[in-house]
Structure 1
Amino acid sequence: MDLLLILTYAGICIAVFKIFNIPLTKWTVPTAVLGGIVIIGVLMILMNYNHPFTANARQVYTSVPIMPLVRGKVIEVPVRPNQLIKAGDVLFKLDPEPFEAVVEQREAEVAAAQQQVPQLLAQLASAQATTNAAKAERDRTQKAYQRYAEGRKKGGKNSPFTELEVENRQQAYLAAEAQLQVAQANQTNAQLAYDSQINGVNTNVARLQSQLDKALFDLEQTVVHAPTDGYVTQLGLRKGMVAVPMPLRPVMTFIPKEESIFVGAFWENSIKRLKEGDEAEFIVTAQPGIVFKGTVVQVMPTIAEGEFQANGSLLGAEAFFVHSRSLVIIDPEPRFDEFDFPMGISGQVAIYTEHFHHVSMIRKVLLRMQGWVNYIFPFH
């Protein structure tokens, strides 16, 4: 861009010297040179601060790495590369047989656990009956013991009940009391087993049902679908390959169908007056001679060259020697998408602010001249 401005001034000077027959003297030539330095210098300063230009611009897009959530052998890859597909279309399939076997096993376990619930109720009823019988036996032996003990106490030596008989009745009562405690403990265990629930479902059934749900989820993951509208590019996945979720190794790259954005890398002293909504124009190498319009969406608030992370490594002085640029996001006009360019093409961007707006005309002319230069391949 600077060279074009210099060549344009040189061409104007030559034309003026030729048309007006101005002699080449020690006064005219230095005057033309110094005048060019002043004029071009002033114009460059005004344009660089108010209507910056960068030759480092590119269309950017997001790619989605596709990887399965389960391990399996690829049995089908119905998707075709570089063809637009809809969200939900099948990208590839894994062998479902191992996962179907796990699902059947979990279903059998859930069914068995569900059948155990009535058994728990029957066990509880049996434990309650045993408790009732033990309680009745305890009450009977208790009354017999009390009757023998009172008879022995009242009759004294003339009592019909001997000391041994009283002791036997006491032992029988204590044994019945112990049996009742065992029966009550068994009833409590049966009650707890039957009442063990979560959200109204037996805990064992709920646990096995969660395992079944996980098995069903894994079975669903054997069919991988497109996350959004888009296409797969540089497809290398083939039938018979083994796809694994870990380590994280994507098996294909999916490109979502999204609105285009253009990003220009500007020198930091060129972004001082840029703001959202400023007018922008850009040219692309793939389409010489055409200027596209756009709008500034955002001046990125961060610069990658200044980044560091807590990873145990110190930041060296060489990190400060890198010349950094600030990224500016450009929203291109709808006409840009009509050309169906490959994603990621490069270009050059000029932004026009509201300051010294009349000077922007020179920048626009230079940008169009640069677009014509793109016809000449050796310049790239």
Structure 2
Amino acid sequence: MSTPVSKAEAGEASGLAAPSAMAAPPAKKRRPGRLLLMVSVPLLVVGGGAYFYLTGGRFEETDNAYVQQAKVAVSSDIAGRIVAVNISENQMVHAGDVLFSIDPAPYQIALDQANAALGSARVNVEQLKVSYQTAQTALAAAKATLEIQQASFNRQNTLVEQGVSSASTLDQPKLSLRAAQTAVASAEQQVASAVAALAGNPEIETDMHPTVLAALSQVQLAERNLSKTDVVAAADGVISQIGNLNVGQFVTTGTTIASLVETGGTWVEANFKETQLAGIHVGMVAEVAVDASPGAPLEGKVTSIGAATGSEFSLIPAQNATGNWVKVVQRIPVRVDFEPDAAVQLRSGMSALVSVDTGKSTLDKLQGH
């Protein structure tokens, strides 16, 4: 139940509330720091961005890069059956290590035959020298007989000219003289034939005769084939893909039977965009970060820049003379050579990040330096 309020109390209450309701609100104070902050922050952001843009651009970078190592196809220079395999998959080998062996028996037989042919050739040359000496002796004898017959004919001819003997007495001396002349001519032909058989030089060394040289080459070929029965590693590296390398298997000449990834030379092929090549030149310093060891970057040097884009060397180059041609930024392979860290196990095909120091910032490029 409410308590009645008197008119005097009501008037007094209304008199107190009226002035407070009619009082004006206080004026807000301006804050200059807020305006300064709103202006300075964007300016600082723009200025910082401009600074980093102008002072940046010195390094050209790409992650389209891969570690490369020379890969050699292991094959045999001769045909034969494998009798021994001395390696296993992904084994580290050194230059000269025997990888596998081919049955040497057929090639040993071929070498023995070649040596026998060489001996026979030397004997034949010695016989030719003897034949030359015999021909020389026969020629000397024929010339001596010719001198005797010529003297006998001259004496008889003098008697005939003096009228002491009849002309018929010259018939026999004349026949004997003709026979002696024929014998000398035949002996000279025998000597010439003997000289020709000795390659035109009667004093030729036996092993310099063409027949002996041919036999020697066959011996060298047989020795070379026999030495190739042991297939050795051409360089230090890792042997792989030996699934077809088994004892008892017959291999033919030149057939690839395994692969050797050489570890002696390692480089990175970095595929830079064509728009990045303007500042890259041979000899520039590059930093190589291999994904397998991101915390250990390696220092390298640009050694060559590709002569064409990768698509130009593809099996089917792109044909751009079409109505739906779309421009695509091409990439040029850049070779970066470096000394691999022994602690990093590098393998051909590993991904890498390559950064080339061009030595010029964006500001330098804008100023034409």
Which range, TM-score by smaller chain? Answer: 0.7 to 0.9
User: 2:226 aligns to what?
Assistant: 219
User: 1:73 aligns to what?
Assistant: 81
Contact 1:296 1:328 in 2 (8 A): no
* One-letter amino acid of the structure 2 residue matched with residue 178 of structure 1: T
Deviation at 1:322, TM superposition (A): 6.3
CA distances 1:171-194 after superposition (whole Å, capped 9, x unpaired): 221111001110121122223434
User: 2:209 aligns to what?
Assistant: 202
Give the secondary-structure state (helix, strand or coil) at the position aligned to 2:91. Answer: coil
Contact 1:152 1:163 in 2 (8 A): yes
* One-letter amino acid of the structure 1 residue matched with residue 187 of structure 2: A
* One-letter amino acid of the structure 1 residue matched with residue 149 of structure 2: T
Q: What does 1:4-153 correspond to in 2, within 5 Å? A: 49-153=57-161
Give the secondary-structure state (helix, strand or coil) at the position aligned to 1:342. Answer: coil
Unaligned stretches of 5+ in structure 2? Answer: 1-33, 364-369
Out of 169, 193, 198, the position equivalent to 1:165 is 169
Q: What does 1:324-335 correspond to in 2, within 5 Å? A: 324-331=330-337, 334-335=340-341
Deviation at 1:136, TM superposition (A): 2.0
Question: 1:154 aligned to 2:159?
Answer: no
Contact 2:286 2:336 in 1 (8 A): no
Out of 302, 305, 311, the position equivalent to 2:307 is 302
Equivalents in 1 of 2:117, 2:150: separation in Å?
48
User: 1:11 aligns to what?
Assistant: none
Deviates more, 1:61-70 or 1:275-284: 275-284
TM-score with structure 1 length normalisation? 0.71
Q: Between Structure 1 and Structure 2, how many residues are aligned?
A: 315
Give the secondary-structure state (helix, strand or coil) at the position aligned to 2:146. Answer: helix
Deviation at 1:200, TM superposition (A): 6.5
Deviation at 1:323, TM superposition (A): 4.1
Contact 1:292 1:332 in 2 (8 A): no
Equivalents in 2 of 1:241, 1:254: separation in Å?
20
Out of 350, 355, 359, the position equivalent to 1:350 is 355
Structure 2 CA distance for partners of 1:234 and 1:315, relative to 1, 3 Å: closer
Equivalents in 2 of 1:219, 1:235: separation in Å?
23
Out of 168, 187, 190, the position equivalent to 2:191 is 187
User: 1:254 aligns to what?
Assistant: 260
* One-letter amino acid of the structure 1 residue matched with residue 356 of structure 2: I
Contact 2:303 2:336 in 1 (8 A): yes
Deviation at 1:45, TM superposition (A): 9.1
User: 1:15 aligns to what?
Assistant: none
Structure 2 CA distance for partners of 1:74 and 1:200, relative to 1, 3 Å: closer
Contact 1:232 1:253 in 2 (8 A): yes
Equivalents in 1 of 2:146, 2:288: separation in Å?
100
Give the secondary-structure state (helix, strand or coil) at the position aligned to 1:54. Answer: strand
Out of 255, 273, 280, the position equivalent to 1:274 is 280
Contact 2:284 2:358 in 1 (8 A): no
Contact 2:53 2:362 in 1 (8 A): no
Deviation at 1:347, TM superposition (A): 2.9
Give the secondary-structure state (helix, strand or coil) at the position aligned to 2:94. Answer: coil
User: 1:232 aligns to what?
Assistant: 239
Equivalents in 1 of 2:155, 2:317: separation in Å?
93
CA distances 1:260-282 after superposition (whole Å, capped 9, x unpaired): 32232111111322343434253
User: 2:18 aligns to what?
Assistant: none
Equivalents in 1 of 2:339, 2:239: separation in Å?
26
* One-letter amino acid of the structure 2 residue matched with residue 168 of structure 1: Q
Deviation at 1:42, TM superposition (A): 9.4
Deviation at 1:58, TM superposition (A): 0.9
* One-letter amino acid of the structure 2 residue matched with residue 67 of structure 1: S
Structure 2 CA distance for partners of 1:45 and 1:347, relative to 1, 3 Å: farther
TM-score with structure 2 length normalisation? 0.72
User: 2:28 aligns to what?
Assistant: none
CA distances 1:358-379 after superposition (whole Å, capped 9, x unpaired): 9xxxxxxxxxxxxxxxxxxxxx
Structure 2 CA distance for partners of 1:42 and 1:58, relative to 1, 3 Å: farther
Contact 2:58 2:357 in 1 (8 A): yes
Contact 1:294 1:330 in 2 (8 A): no
Deviation at 1:240, TM superposition (A): 2.4
Instruction: Answer 1 or 2: which has greater helix percent.
Output: 1
Equivalents in 2 of 1:89, 1:125: separation in Å?
54
CA distances 1:270-303 after superposition (whole Å, capped 9, x unpaired): 132234343425351x45x636243332351422
User: 2:29 aligns to what?
Assistant: none
Structure 2 CA distance for partners of 1:357 and 1:79, relative to 1, 3 Å: farther
Q: Name which one, 1 or 2, has greater alpha-carbon Rg.
A: 2
